Structure 1
Amino acid sequence: MEKEQRTKTRLPGKIEALVPIAVLLAIMISNYVFDWGQDPHIPVLIACAAAMIVGWRCGYNYKEMLAAALDAVNQSLEAIIIILCVGCLIGSFEWCGTIPAVVYYGLKCITPGMFLPLACILCAIVGIALGSAWTVVATLGIAFMAIGDTMGLNPGLVAGMILSGACCGDKFSPLSDSTNLAAGSAQTGLFDHVRAMVTTTFPSLVIAIVIYTIISLRGSASYDPQMANDLSQAIVDHYAYMSPILLLPVLFIIVVALLKIPAIPGVLLISTIGCIFAVIFQGASFSDCITMAHYGYSAETGNALCDTLLNRGGMNSMLWTNNLVIIAVGFGGILQKIGAVESLLGGLIKKVRTPFQLIVVTILTSMFCITTMCDQYLGLIIPSSMYKEKYDEMGLGRNMLSRTLEDGGTLWSPLIPWSSCGAYHSSILGVSTFGYLPFCFMNIINPIYAIITASWGGNILYADGSRTNLLGRLKTGGTPAGAPDDAHERAIAALARIRAGASAKEAKK
């Protein structure tokens, strides 16, 4: 039966394989050029249909391709559920005042002489608290653009600084949909993934902040804090209680990560803590807690910027993202089933022999998918489905895969004008994508840093929990990252063979 199946199907040619991608790219670029204002859901669905037509020409039937799409969705189901739970958490954090408290106390730290680095750090902190670079840009981003304008700073520089911090915070946050999707696509633990990013993301942020500090110290600027003051006052006037105590729920996120509590119970636990704080400090009722978890927080403060910050969260708010994730994951599953991705990029993976080469290929594939398919989710999903078995064959941890996906995926998306991220950030900040691109130091440095350090064997994470440090020296004794049992067993066996071979070569010398 298997032999009969192999004879009636074939690998699509490169032109055939490009058809679904070309269809999606044509619609998305047209949407950008002609400003149709359409979301990416239906274009991706149309691309799914195009992929199925190509698959039918190559001998696959509808049921086979549908099964592949559903199987891909099933593998990402935990991430989809986590994203819904994150909506509950954001709603509780808004209602109890934790997220506004982060913004309120953060704005008090801004000083004119160190505007760029301090604002970048604040965007990163708020990004971690919010789990959304989009919301950081729509709140602090707007405020900082106005402040930068009063200082006479290049708008592209200020926008690049905002995105560097916001994207870094989004990338690190357990509340972020892209962070959850990267972990879910790689089939590793959420907090295993977050800890893995410390090796590349944090140093990249430090380098970016140093650059912003140098720019700030070399320049001179005046400062009009009115917009920031208005935002802070609106927050204080709206909430019954505003105190540093409200920052404590953010610390519980760190505690949950350190205790290695699984993602779903961990997020629900933190959501419950947020609800308790809302009851104690803001006078919320049990009914309010149900409302905030389902529909998020709703407020009218009289300050448009403050309303943008506060009116978000709830399980319902995540349905847009999850709808796109389901369709995009299905698209990736169909492309994988019909062999479209293998036809286009399969030659790359066959030439990979080292972890360094695998990291480079993964990052470049993520960038390729975002550039051609116009959405960061596809830049996480498709490379993961292509390369995860290769990571197992090299004895690498699945958190190594998830980290690399974000190094080349999440941070690249805001730099593409016709991607959903690029179009959004450009519109909100009032700066063209190419105007802020040269100043998004974090977004540019992170993938370069990951590739350079991997070139000499640094920051490599293995399936048994061991890793190499920045200089490439092996450190043992770590806890293995989450992975499917069969994949973990294959990776451990492969790692043992690789190290045995290396030991044998060393002994001969």
Structure 2
Amino acid sequence: MNENAKVARLPNKFEALIPIIFLLGVMISNYVFGWGQDPHIPVTLSCGVAMIIGYRCGYTYKDMLAAGLEAVNQSLEAIIIILLVGCLIGSFTACGTIPAVVYYGLKLLSPGIFLPFITLMCAVVGIALGSAWTVSATLGIAFMAIGKTMGLNPALIAGAILSGACCGDKFSPLSDSTNLAAGASQTGLFDHVGAMVTTTFPSLVIAIILYAFFSFSSVNNYDPSLANQLSAEIVNHYDYMSPLLLIPILMIIIVAVIKMPAIPSIVLLSLVGCGFAAVLQGAGIADCIRMLHYGYSAESQNELFSNLVNRGGMDSMLWTNNLVIVAVAFGGILQKIGAIESILGHLIHKVKTPFQLVFVTLATSIFCITTMCDQYLGLIIPSSMYKDNYDQMGLGRNMLSRTLEDGGTLWSPLVPWSSCGSYHTSVLGVPTLSYLPYCFMNLINPIFALVTASWGGNILFADGSRTTFYGKLKKGRGPAGAPEEAHEIAMKALVERRKAGIYKSL
């Protein structure tokens, strides 16, 4: 193995681009010709292309396979969490919690504040659902129809929907991308969620202000029939509909505040949902087991209602996990053969400050999503490339995970040929490039993260301390989760930088 390592070389830029060009070519063809194929097989085939390039550069099949498997092994916790999130969604739907969030949100709808309201509503429901895709397919469709009756630009409505939905997806412990960002960065799930408050929440506030301006100046009339039909269907279907059903949502906040580990917290919340379903909706033990595995199902003539409740279950997360496995393996192989290092490695060698590291992470994440057409690769590949650099700068792993989502999760819906962009276009009926300028949240968040980092604001350190928006150092609640060896390296680097006066001391 040592001999192989000696003859192995870094691929040149052309060789390094071949696997990416192959994947990009297949995915763009899928978009242009409307094949409607999922990205799993293209990514798997791209793994083979990457291995061929690696073999030409002196790497053995055994070494490349080991690198792919090791990358998957590092993401196993995230994979397990994603499966359990499916159980949680099934139980929260069965007990009526998720429909209750939608029901009470629609009751608050006001024409004068339509755009900021739907942004906030989609964010809240996105946190409850853990899926921007589901928000788009349920509330998104309803709000598109309602907004058109007000004379609003469909692209503006779609932008407001996606701004809220993607924000909620980012914050939700139920979200696969949120769990993957934390897992790929090897930090705690709730450490990651808490870290995003520093950049995502202010960006949401700015976006809502912009939507308020457009809403006040553009809304002419309002037809509440679609919202009323969905609300009536929810009430008619569930045996019990009351604000008490919002208690499980509050429990998500509680387990986040007490920093309960992700897997036991999701299992606990799933069981709470089963308990509410049994007591309030009359579900039996067999019903609970079925919906934990296969999700909740209900027959209805109302398509919006069916899209809302027929979901969840461990089985429903297999599509995501299958893609995660092959995408993580692809990232591991690319890292092993040095493909991304060859393409972007010159950037990391120039990085000396947290601001520069944030910029490189955001740029790599956006590059990966744009060229590889999938948001999971935009989370996985930059994390594998730069996590050591965050340690060497004394930064917290939750700053890495936060930056991945600032650029990765929010950028994916803006790429027309990505699975995310094509999905939202088909559901909302608005071309990706048309709604792109109005996705204020998605555009503002990475810019806000980068600008504040330029003057030392919102920096998260390995000891749990952080800087405020203005760059003032504050003591935190404790270090974010990280591998023990990585945390030791980061703490040592932090102490050295503070002694040298590079960072401020507490």
Mark yes or no: TM-score above 0.5.
yes
TM-score (norm 2): 0.99
Letter in 1 for 2:216: L
**1:179 equivalenced with 2:178 (yes/no):** yes
Secondary structure of 2:462 counterpart: coil
Q: Which runs of 4+ in 1 moved over 2 A?
A: 4-7, 503-506
**1:444 equivalenced with 2:440 (yes/no):** no
Letter in 2 for 1:407: D
Confirm or deny: 8 A CA contact 2:4 2:60 kept in the other structure: no
Paired residue for 1:352?
351
Q: How far apart are 1:369 and its partner, in Å?
A: 0.2
Q: How far apart are 1:444 and its partner, in Å?
A: 0.3
Confirm or deny: 8 A CA contact 2:90 2:312 kept in the other structure: yes
Paired residue for 2:453?
454
TM-score (norm 1): 0.98
Counterpart Cα distance in 1 of 2:209 and 2:423: 27
Q: How far apart are 1:219 and its partner, in Å?
A: 2.5
Counterpart Cα distance in 1 of 2:153 and 2:214: 11
Counterpart Cα distance in 2 of 1:61 and 1:142: 50
Paired residue for 2:132?
133
Q: How far apart are 1:8 and its partner, in Å?
A: 1.4
Counterpart Cα distance in 2 of 1:478 and 1:195: 11
Distance 1:483 1:150, change over 3 A: same
Confirm or deny: 8 A CA contact 1:464 1:478 kept in the other structure: no
**1:495 equivalenced with 2:499 (yes/no):** no
Counterpart Cα distance in 1 of 2:43 and 2:237: 41
Paired residue for 2:419?
420
Letter in 2 for 1:478: R
Confirm or deny: 8 A CA contact 2:368 2:377 kept in the other structure: yes
Distance 1:311 1:185, change over 3 A: same
Secondary structure of 1:411 counterpart: helix
Paired residue for 1:342?
341
Q: What root-mean-square deviation, in Å, do the aligned CA atoms of Structure 1 and Structure 2 show?
A: 1.1
Q: How far apart are 1:217 and its partner, in Å?
A: 1.6
Counterpart Cα distance in 2 of 1:341 and 1:19: 11
Secondary structure of 2:482 counterpart: coil
Counterpart Cα distance in 2 of 1:48 and 1:456: 40
Distance 1:504 1:409, change over 3 A: closer
Q: How far apart are 1:481 and its partner, in Å?
A: 0.2
Q: How far apart are 1:216 and its partner, in Å?
A: 1.3
Paired residue for 2:246?
247
1:311-339 per-residue CA deviation (whole Å, 9 max, x = no partner) reads: 00000000000000000000000000011
1:342-364 per-residue CA deviation (whole Å, 9 max, x = no partner) reads: 11111100000000000000001
1:373-397 per-residue CA deviation (whole Å, 9 max, x = no partner) reads: 0000000000000000000000000
Counterpart Cα distance in 2 of 1:230 and 1:216: 24
Paired residue for 2:58?
59
Q: How far apart are 1:220 and its partner, in Å?
A: 3.5
Paired residue for 2:283?
284
Counterpart Cα distance in 2 of 1:505 and 1:94: 48
Confirm or deny: 8 A CA contact 1:139 1:305 kept in the other structure: yes
1:447-472 per-residue CA deviation (whole Å, 9 max, x = no partner) reads: 00000000000000000000000000
Secondary structure of 1:38 counterpart: coil
Letter in 2 for 1:436: Y
Counterpart Cα distance in 1 of 2:204 and 2:406: 12
Secondary structure of 1:298 counterpart: coil
- Match runs of 1:207-222 below 5 Å: 207-222=206-221
Distance 1:365 1:496, change over 3 A: same
Secondary structure of 2:109 counterpart: coil
Distance 1:160 1:350, change over 3 A: same
Paired residue for 1:96?
95
Paired residue for 2:430?
431
Counterpart Cα distance in 2 of 1:27 and 1:5: 32
Q: How far apart are 1:292 and its partner, in Å?
A: 1.0
Letter in 2 for 1:122: M
Letter in 1 for 2:97: T
Q: How far apart are 1:302 and its partner, in Å?
A: 1.9
- Match runs of 1:21-32 below 5 Å: 21-32=20-31
Paired residue for 1:409?
408
Q: How far apart are 1:5 and its partner, in Å?
A: 3.3
Counterpart Cα distance in 1 of 2:453 and 2:258: 29
Confirm or deny: 8 A CA contact 2:456 2:470 kept in the other structure: yes
Gaps of 5+ in 2: none
1:57-90 per-residue CA deviation (whole Å, 9 max, x = no partner) reads: 0111111111000000000000000000000000
Q: How far apart are 1:195 and its partner, in Å?
A: 0.2
Counterpart Cα distance in 1 of 2:211 and 2:502: 45
Counterpart Cα distance in 2 of 1:477 and 1:176: 25
314-323 or 339-348, larger mean C-alpha shift = 339-348
Letter in 2 for 1:495: L
Letter in 2 for 1:497: E
Secondary structure of 1:312 counterpart: coil
| Matched length | 505
Q: How far apart are 1:6 and its partner, in Å?
A: 3.4
Counterpart Cα distance in 2 of 1:420 and 1:429: 14
Counterpart Cα distance in 2 of 1:256 and 1:38: 38
Counterpart Cα distance in 1 of 2:379 and 2:504: 37
Confirm or deny: 8 A CA contact 1:396 1:462 kept in the other structure: yes
Confirm or deny: 8 A CA contact 2:151 2:219 kept in the other structure: no
Paired residue for 1:121?
120
Counterpart Cα distance in 1 of 2:477 and 2:359: 25
Secondary structure of 1:496 counterpart: helix
Counterpart Cα distance in 1 of 2:354 and 2:345: 17
Paired residue for 2:369?
370
Letter in 2 for 1:390: N
Secondary structure of 1:222 counterpart: coil
**1:473 equivalenced with 2:472 (yes/no):** yes
Letter in 1 for 2:372: M
128-137 or 5-14, larger mean C-alpha shift = 5-14
Counterpart Cα distance in 2 of 1:504 and 1:87: 42
Q: How far apart are 1:7 and its partner, in Å?
A: 2.4
- Match runs of 1:2-401 below 5 Å: 2=2, 4-401=3-400
Distance 1:388 1:503, change over 3 A: closer
Confirm or deny: 8 A CA contact 2:16 2:340 kept in the other structure: yes
Counterpart Cα distance in 1 of 2:222 and 2:480: 47
Confirm or deny: 8 A CA contact 1:139 1:306 kept in the other structure: yes
Secondary structure of 2:409 counterpart: coil
Gaps of 5+ in 1: none
Counterpart Cα distance in 1 of 2:111 and 2:15: 56
Counterpart Cα distance in 1 of 2:502 and 2:141: 57
Q: How far apart are 1:426 and its partner, in Å?
A: 0.5
Letter in 2 for 1:328: A
Paired residue for 1:486?
485
Letter in 2 for 1:241: Y
Letter in 1 for 2:34: D
